[in-house]
Structure 1
Amino acid sequence: MSSTEQLAILPATKEPFQIVYADDVLLVVNKPARLLTVPGRHPQNQDCLIRRVQREFPFAEVVHRLDYDTSGLVILPMTKRVLSDISKQFQARMVHKHYIAVVAGKVAKTQGIIELPIASDNDNRPLYKVCQQDGKPSVTRYKLLSYDSTTDQSRVQLEPVTGRSHQLRVHMLALGNPMLGDTLYASSDVTGKSSRLMLHAEYIRFQHPLTKQPVEFSAAAPF
């Protein structure tokens, strides 16, 4: 991690998280945009999702994260056993997620699969890039939901098969369709078309660690 990233101040939104599901062993919450999932390294980046949740649910823990700019569903286990179980499900790709995004331009195909390896961009940390030599295999399924010719913007559903950092942003950029409001990867004219990153984790499905039954949850995109 670069010193620039370590020292970056990321102001936490006042918007609260929403509880989508709760039982004795796990929570599913809807994280607002502009909120870290866990505390940042900078002293002013201590306000985050998990600390807010722990005020009400002291035993909640983090098993996966969403970026600061991304909103949507996050699973928070409340026992060590459930934390281990959900972690193993992520490793085995048993957790299925999809996101909603609004991107610049018209996506060329109505649906497809992006298979482009992603690596850290060492010259431009904390960014990532497509890199055939050093990149890790990265796969995203996408589906065009609608296109607005007036604004020249596409609404897409994205399913990350792999879970690389910034994968969805990098893959859509590689298609020529950067996300609106993306201050890291989009040009200033695209970034300025939205006051937030237009990326939301809308749906998640996994196996409940105790009942072993599939459970699924959704939270509509706020855009």
Structure 2
Amino acid sequence: MTEDSPTRADDGRTFTVGYEDDGIRLDRWFKRHLPETSFNIVSRWARTGQLRVDGSRTAPGDRLAAGQSIRVPPAEVIATATATTTTARPKKERPPLSDEDTAFMRDLVIHQDRHAIVINKPPGLATQGGTKTDRHVDGLLDALTLDAPGRPKLVHRLDKDTSGVLLVARSAFAAGHFAKAFSSRTARKVYWALIAGVPSIEDGMIELPIAKQPGTGGEKMHVDEKEGSPARTRYRVIERAGNTAAWVELQPHTGRTHQLRVHMAAIGHPIVGDGKYGGPEAFLSGGVSRKMHLHARRLRVDAPDGGQIDVTAEPPAHFAESVKLLGFDPKRGELPLDEPKFSETAEGRKRAIGQAAKARRKERKGERRGRGRA
């Protein structure tokens, strides 16, 4: 971020978006560079037109691009607005971590480079805080500062009871890069799951739209053909235990909340231990653990420097024990990575949109020529 000199003192201040902030939301830009400006103030400025990006009105959720200019009111206006916002809650200071918490987090690290740290998240540990959730990965990230100048940043999530690969960025620049990789679906994620029963089709694609289930306060999702967002999951059966259970590999091609859990329950094969979506059918007899059997096994994502991060995480003890109880061979779990079709990548979608726009322009040009001849 660089600040340009305004032409007049009452014109406010103008900032240029740096490369490290490319793709960041406007409200997040303020939190990063002008933290004294609250979200309510940013929203008010946007509504009243005092906040401009490249001279145009904007909204707090709009994303920025490197090189754009942001015009904000003068510093004294920020100070006045902040002083009059007496209802704002003071920012809570994070208490220092204990030696036990620091050692706990560092023991989870399975990959580390200058851009990212990858941990093998245990089941039962939430990624972020919430109601009645005080202990979570985000609150323990100070343990992973290590030799970096700043605190690591979350760029994606795993459900509390889902174990496995979780990546955190070591800088704001890396966070922007990885966030874009996850949102554009260029990052490839592989999950292992044990499911109740065995699908009749052993290699399939589930395409069922997902939405929040009414009456649950957003705590539960469901398949909704009319209002749901598109969701796609590739599944492959690794091994089967008669007709009782199967060990499957899951690859989400979209990133909806609880997508894998909803999709597997929707086709009649809930993930073992997932009573929320599978009900009683999600639990097996014979000593199989009642914990969730969903594990983020592998993550492959391009690094900011042009390299690639490709990490696998060992499943938790209860998952490994269930694999053994059901007679599965642990060596059979590694299947070739399902590569996306070019049309499914961000570049492919962008090209398809461009080609469609070009075709429409050509069609309109032909219509104008036809009217001219007539």
- TM-score w.r.t. the length of structure 1 is 0.87
TM-fit CA distance, 1:141: 0.4
Contact 2:115 2:303 in 1 (8 A): no
Aligned length: 206
In the other structure, the counterpart of 1:204 is 299
In the other structure, the counterpart of 1:143 is 236
Are 1:128 and 2:221 counterparts?
A: yes
Q: Which runs of 4+ in 1 moved over 4 A?
A: none
Q: State the Cα deviation string for residues 25-73 of structure 1 (Å, max 9, x = none).
A: 310111000111011233xx11111222322426111110000010010
In the other structure, the counterpart of 1:103 is 195
SS at match of 1:55: helix
Structure 2 gap ranges (5+) = 1-100, 320-374
In the other structure, the counterpart of 2:18 is none
Select the structure that is richer in helix.
2
The one-letter amino acid of 2:169's match is P
- TM-score w.r.t. the length of structure 2 is 0.53
- Choose from 149, 169, 175 the match for 2:261: 169
The one-letter amino acid of 2:172's match is K
Q: State the Cα deviation string for residues 87-125 of structure 1 (Å, max 9, x = none).
A: 111121110001000000012111010000001001334
Q: Work out which structure has the larger RCO, using CA pairs closer than 8 Å and 6 or more positions apart in sequence.
A: 1
TM-fit CA distance, 1:189: 4.7
In the other structure, the counterpart of 1:63 is 155
Q: State the Cα deviation string for residues 153-185 of structure 1 (Å, max 9, x = none).
A: 110000000000010001001111011111311
Select the structure that is richer in strand.
1
Contact 2:141 2:151 in 1 (8 A): no
The one-letter amino acid of 1:38's match is Q
Structure 1 gap ranges (5+) = 1-13
The one-letter amino acid of 1:195's match is R
TM-fit CA distance, 1:195: 2.8
**What's the % identity of the aligned pairs?**
32
- Choose from 29, 41, 46 the match for 2:119: 29
Root mean square deviation, CA, Å: 1.9
In the other structure, the counterpart of 1:6 is none
Q: In 2, distance between residues paired with 1:79 and 1:59?
A: 8
Are 1:215 and 2:304 counterparts?
A: no
Q: In 1, distance between residues paired with 2:262 and 2:281?
A: 18
